Structure 1
Amino acid sequence: MNAKNILNELSEKMATASTKSAIVGLDGFVDKIIKPVDSRFGQGADFEPIPTIEAFGQRIIDAAGESANIELYEEYEKLGGNGPIMANALVADGLKVQYIGALGQPMEAVFEEFAKNTNAVSICAPGITHALEFTDGKIMLGSMKGLDDLTLDRILEVMGEGAFIDAVNRADLIALVNWTMIPNMTAIFEGLLTRVLPNLGPKESGRWFYFDLADPAKRSRGDLKEVLNVISKFRSHGSVTLGLNLSEAKQVCDVFELGSVEEEADSLKSGATRIRNALNLPCVVIHPRSGAACATRDGAWYVEGPFCKSPKISTGAGDHFNSGFAAAEVIGLSPEACLMVAVATSGQYVRTGRSPSLRETARFIESWTSGSLSD
């Protein structure tokens, strides 16, 4: 398929996004952006930060056997978490979104505007990320205690069982992300399969599920295999897409002994196909930085991404890819067009730092594929 056909698809169907609704969840993080202090000259921001991760590491190493006092200067707080970022991007695409997740009890101030835009329901305290920024990267120190309270029973207690079932029943898209950081997420999936989804009526326009693991490296092989087998059962209730970055795809292939997958078009298509077949899923997507591939029952596709030499932001690029792909699926685009919309959504985000609309994505695709796109 060429870009013209994809743009025609998008042009014909993008208006239907406003008729679609989504439930997204379940994580939530308050990101505290921090500079470790090297030398202080006065109060507030009057200091010299520790410049590099190496220098910070050396400061810690030098304290071995003794002690150290390292001041952490908090520059600002912002909304974080895979779910909230994906939900914001779906709102920009025009979908009616309800967010359910860990936004605070009472709700943290950083989520207040987001909550208004997404009719959000807060279930418990969020995770806290202390993002120590250096000239050569970041060290993310996370506190996940609040996420221990994310359970299906707690969701039903806060929302009411009838209200939750009704919300799920009305949703065209149900996106459940960041399994890795939520200890009870597998149990939540199982509860949805046994206690909620059997109570839903048929949905003539279809129902889509989108899952993202969020780097399961710290979870056991057994945990990963278990949740993937649970995810595969959702196909009885709608169309299921599993979104993976390259590292996640390699881990899944390793757990199921499916061979290797590399950042090359044929390997990505083959890897997505092997994972899809092993789990009997309607769709599997693999999205490294260079492009993306997906496999369905009808075949496999690959599109190259719009590479950006100097991204304004990179955190959240994968969440924007997920939102672009999910939105495109829900409005009925072909797999190749879904890939194109997804990489274009992510490509715009890393260039501008904001979530684009589907109309903006169409203009971006036109500029990109015509060769007039500039970083």
Structure 2
Amino acid sequence: MADGERTKGHTKSGIRSCREQLSTGPQEHTVLFGFDGIVDTVREMIAERESRDSVSRIRELDSLGTRITDSVASETSVAIEWLDCGTRTGGHVCHLSRTLGRWGLAPIMIGTFGTPMESEFESSFAEYTTYSIGEPGTTDAVEFDDGKLLLTEAGDYRDLDWKSLDERLGHNQLARLLEQADLFGMGYWSMIPALSEILYGLAEDVWPTLSDPPAHVVFDPADIRHLPDSRLVDGFDALQTLNRQVPVTLSANRGETEALIRSGGGSVTGDSMLDLATAARDILGVDRVVSHGARASAMAGEDDHALVETLHIEEPEIVTSSGDHFNAGVCLGLLEGFDAGATIALGNAVAGAFIRSGRSPTLPEVQTFLEEYGAQV
């Protein structure tokens, strides 16, 4: 069987399995997320202003790159107008909690929401249990049809380490919250440089004291390409240390997965997302690695793996935080005990429904998307 035919078969079986297993009723799980918090302003860049009220936008990242390289070649400045398309709370904690909370799960949120909590977080998460450990960051998220440009000013999460987490929250309080959770999610490594220190602390100081710990840890590194290899390799050891206490699932996009492989001394060959996820898992030494992309997503585990195509969205409403929505689907799949194919299909469906509508989908909307997804791939 050709690779394309094999992938198509895995995709159809994953979608079918997900549709059969997914309940659209309220999900009775408690989830804990830490440790960031960001205020996102979504923006679009203007290519040409035809009149006061009429503009055309820069639709592709490549077009923006051409403008910049042309300016460099001509030794001139780059001046680009942008539009404010709305403000919302962002980051790993907020996006995952918002999506899973909409499905009936009970989120517990630890993050940099402000002291006192800033109004954007208070209005969005008043019904959830929240613990603020500092001031939030801010991000201008510039949307393009083929990607995004994130311009970020860091919040107090930048200086977070194991000692300061004790000072701001308390290790004993963290242990009590972990006892309540079925799944614990952490992100982003790219914004919390000392996250590996926190991983060690969790594995060595907290997890051995828990009588009823979470069944899963989901770890999102985000774009770690600016971190030195030495810090990443230390993080690999920290992840392995925690993985000896609890199954760890690391989820990253294609570029992030490739960076992890190279930092660990591996080489990136071929286009297969499953090969990437498998290579990353071999280097990281965790239970599962998930790699997600625009065309396909994959999960590599010890006894279960899957490669599932995505459904192309012709006119995306938004792409910023689509990876977080994918991860929300993965979290629910893990909690519900789905196999790898169904879990990845669910992640793809949640992300696809979000990209198309611009808002976190309900579970009935995810099920509807799965029906279309299965018919078209």
Whether these two folds match at TM > 0.5 is yes
Q: Could you tell me how far 1:53 is from its partner in structure 2? A: 4.2
Residue by residue over 1:302-351, the C-alpha shift from the partner in whole angstroms, topping out at 9 and shown as x without a partner, is: 11111112111111111111110111101111111101111011110001
Q: Which whole-Å CA distance do the structure 1 matches of 2:145 and 2:251 have between them?
A: 31
Q: Could you tell me how far 1:104 is from its partner in structure 2? A: 1.4
1:125-274 pair list within 5 angstroms: 125-131=135-141, 139-203=149-213, 207-264=215-272, 268-274=273-279
Deviates more, 1:170-179 or 1:86-95: 86-95
Please give the root-mean-square deviation of Cα atoms over the aligned residues, in Å.
3.4
Q: Could you tell me how far 1:72 is from its partner in structure 2? A: 8.0
Residue by residue over 1:93-147, the C-alpha shift from the partner in whole angstroms, topping out at 9 and shown as x without a partner, is: 3211111111112222221123314322111011122346789986533211532
2:332 is aligned to: 327
For residue 30 of structure 2, the aligned residue among 17, 21, 28 is: 21
1:100 is aligned to: 110
For residue 18 of structure 2, the aligned residue among 6, 29, 52 is: 6
Residue by residue over 1:57-102, the C-alpha shift from the partner in whole angstroms, topping out at 9 and shown as x without a partner, is: 599879989x999998866432122331122112123211111111
Q: Which whole-Å CA distance do the structure 2 matches of 1:70 and 1:281 have between them?
A: 44
Q: When the two structures are superposed, what TM-score results if normalisation uses the length of structure 1? A: 0.83
Residue by residue over 1:155-193, the C-alpha shift from the partner in whole angstroms, topping out at 9 and shown as x without a partner, is: 333444433211111211100011111122122212212
Q: Which whole-Å CA distance do the structure 1 matches of 2:372 and 2:297 have between them?
A: 19
Calculate percent identity across the aligned residue pairs. Answer: 27
Residue by residue over 1:186-218, the C-alpha shift from the partner in whole angstroms, topping out at 9 and shown as x without a partner, is: 222122122211210145xx6100001101111
What is the DSSP-based 3-state SS (H/G/I as helix, E as strand, rest coil) of the residue aligned with 1:338?
helix
Change (3 A) 1:50 1:336: closer
| Structure 1 counterpart of 2:154, one-letter code | M
What is the DSSP-based 3-state SS (H/G/I as helix, E as strand, rest coil) of the residue aligned with 2:244?
helix
The answer to whether structure 1 residue 292 and structure 2 residue 292 are counterparts is no
| Greater relative contact order (CA < 8 Å, ≥ 6 in sequence) | 2
Q: Is the 8 A contact 1:22 1:96 kept in 2?
A: yes
Q: Is the 8 A contact 1:37 1:48 kept in 2?
A: yes
Q: Which whole-Å CA distance do the structure 2 matches of 1:358 and 1:171 have between them?
A: 21
| Structure 1 counterpart of 2:331, one-letter code | A
Change (3 A) 1:363 1:184: same
Change (3 A) 1:358 1:285: same
2:311 is aligned to: 306
**Unpaired stretches in structure 2, ≥5 consecutive residues:** 1-9
| Structure 1 counterpart of 2:338, one-letter code | L
1:331-350 pair list within 5 angstroms: 331-350=336-355
| Structure 2 counterpart of 1:25, one-letter code | G
The answer to whether structure 1 residue 81 and structure 2 residue 91 are counterparts is yes
Q: Is the 8 A contact 2:200 2:242 kept in 1?
A: no
Residue by residue over 1:219-268, the C-alpha shift from the partner in whole angstroms, topping out at 9 and shown as x without a partner, is: 0111111112211222222221011211111112212233325443xxx2
**Unpaired stretches in structure 1, ≥5 consecutive residues:** none
Q: Which whole-Å CA distance do the structure 1 matches of 2:41 and 2:138 have between them?
A: 7
Q: Is the 8 A contact 2:251 2:289 kept in 1?
A: yes
Change (3 A) 1:364 1:137: closer
Residue by residue over 1:7-60, the C-alpha shift from the partner in whole angstroms, topping out at 9 and shown as x without a partner, is: 22224xx65x632111112111112346789999xxxx9898997847985998
Q: Which whole-Å CA distance do the structure 2 matches of 1:118 and 1:82 have between them?
A: 15
Q: Is the 8 A contact 1:93 1:327 kept in 2?
A: no
| Structure 2 counterpart of 1:228, one-letter code | F
Q: Which whole-Å CA distance do the structure 1 matches of 2:175 and 2:117 have between them?
A: 23
Change (3 A) 1:22 1:145: closer
